[in-house]
Chain A
Amino acid sequence: MIINILRKELKSMFASPMGWVILALLMLAFGMNFLNGIDSYFSVMQGSMRPAERIGVTQFVGQKLFSFAAFLALFAVPLLSMRLIAEERRSLTLPFLFSAPVSITDIVLGKFLSLVLFLGLIVVYIALMLFALSPWAEIDVGYILANSFGLLLLIASFSAAGLYFSSMTQQPVVAAILTFIVLFALSFLDLVLPGDPSGVLPNLSIMHRFQSFTGGLIDTGDIAYFVLLIITFLTLTIRRLDADRLRG
Chain B
Amino acid sequence: MTNLTVEAFELTRLYGGREAVSNVSFSVMQGQVLGFLGPNGAGKSTTMKMLTGNLAPSAGSVKICGIDMIENPKEAKALIGYLPEMRPLYKEFTVDEYLTIAARLHRVSSKHIKSAVENAKERCGLGHMSKRLIENLSNGYQQRVGIAQAILHKPMVVILDEPTVGLDPNQIRPIRELIKEIGKDHSVILSTHILPEVELMCNHVQIIDKGKMVFNGDIDVLKRHRVGNKLLIGFNNTPSIEALMNINGVTEAELADNNMMRVRFADGSAPHEAIVQAAVRNSWGLYQIAPDQTSLEDVFTQLTHQDAAAELAVESTQ
Interface centre among B75, B90, B93, B106 (most CB of A within 10 A): B90
**CB <8 Å contact, A11 and B97:** yes
Given known pairs A101-B75, A248-B55, the reply for A15 and B93 (CB within 8 Å) is: yes
Residue A124 is within 8 A (CB to CB) of chain B in the complex: no
Measured in the bound complex, the distance between the Cα atoms of B80 and A4 in whole Å is: 18
Residue A192 is within 8 A (CB to CB) of chain B in the complex: no
**Inter-chain residue pair count (beta carbon < 8 A):** 81
Given known pairs A15-B93, A96-B88, the reply for A248 and B74 (CB within 8 Å) is: no
**CB <8 Å contact, A100 and B77:** yes
Measured in the bound complex, the distance between the Cα atoms of B13 and A245 in whole Å is: 12
**CB <8 Å contact, A98 and B54:** yes
What is the 8 Å Cβ interface bit string for chain A, positions 77-101, against chain B (1 contact, 0 not)? Answer: 0000000000000011111111111
Q: How far is the CB of B41 from chain A (nearest CB, A)?
A: 14
**CB <8 Å contact, B89 and A245:** no
Partner of A8, one of B54, B89, B91, B101: B101
Chain A neighbourhood of B54, CB < 8 A: 95, 98-99, 245
Q: How far is the CB of B305 from chain A (nearest CB, A)?
A: 28
Given known pairs A91-B91, A92-B88, the reply for A98 and B53 (CB within 8 Å) is: yes
Interface residues on B, range: 20 to 34
What is the 8 Å Cβ interface bit string for chain B, positions 26-54, against chain A (1 contact, 0 not)? Answer: 00000000000000000000100100111
Chain A neighbourhood of B218, CB < 8 A: none
**CB <8 Å contact, A248 and B13:** yes
Chain A neighbourhood of B74, CB < 8 A: 101-103
**CB <8 Å contact, A101 and B107:** yes
Q: How far is the CB of B46 from chain A (nearest CB, A)?
A: 8
Partner of A101, one of B91, B93, B106: B106
**CB <8 Å contact, B77 and A246:** no
Partner of B82, one of A4, A99, A103, A248: A99
Residue B173 is within 8 A (CB to CB) of chain A in the complex: no
Partner of A16, one of B13, B55, B56, B92: B92
Of residues 104 through 123 on chain B, the ones whose CB sits less than 8 Å from some CB of chain A are 104-107
**CB <8 Å contact, B101 and A245:** no
Residue B73 is within 8 A (CB to CB) of chain A in the complex: yes
Chain A neighbourhood of B46, CB < 8 A: 248
**CB <8 Å contact, A97 and B73:** no
Partner of B105, one of A15, A97, A103: A97
Give the nearest-CB partner of B93 in chain A: A15
Measured in the bound complex, the distance between the Cα atoms of B86 and A248 in whole Å is: 15
**CB <8 Å contact, A94 and B92:** no
Residue B78 is within 8 A (CB to CB) of chain A in the complex: yes
Given known pairs A93-B90, A101-B77, A101-B107, the reply for A11 and B82 (CB within 8 Å) is: no
Residues of A within 8 A of B (CB-CB), count: 25
Given known pairs A245-B54, A245-B55, the reply for A102 and B105 (CB within 8 Å) is: yes
Chain A neighbourhood of B86, CB < 8 A: 92, 95
Measured in the bound complex, the distance between the Cα atoms of B56 and A99 in whole Å is: 12
Chain B neighbourhood of A245, CB < 8 A: 53-56
Measured in the bound complex, the distance between the Cα atoms of B113 and A7 in whole Å is: 15
Residue B287 is within 8 A (CB to CB) of chain A in the complex: no
Residue A40 is within 8 A (CB to CB) of chain B in the complex: no
Of residues 49 through 107 on chain A, the ones whose CB sits less than 8 Å from some CB of chain B are 91-103
Top 6 A-B pairs ranked by shortest CB distance? A96-B88, A101-B78, A100-B105, A92-B86, A93-B88, A99-B82
Interface residues of chain B, those whose CB is within 8 Å of chain A, are: 13, 15, 46, 49, 52-56, 73-75, 77-78, 80, 82, 84, 86-93, 97, 101-102, 104-107, 149
CB pairs A–B below 8 angstroms (28 shown): A4-B104, A4-B105, A5-B105, A8-B101, A11-B93, A11-B97, A12-B90, A15-B92, A91-B88, A92-B87, A93-B88, A93-B90, A95-B54, A95-B84, A96-B88, A98-B52, A99-B52, A99-B53, A99-B54, A99-B80, A101-B77, A101-B106, A103-B74, A245-B53, A245-B55, A246-B56, A248-B46, A248-B49
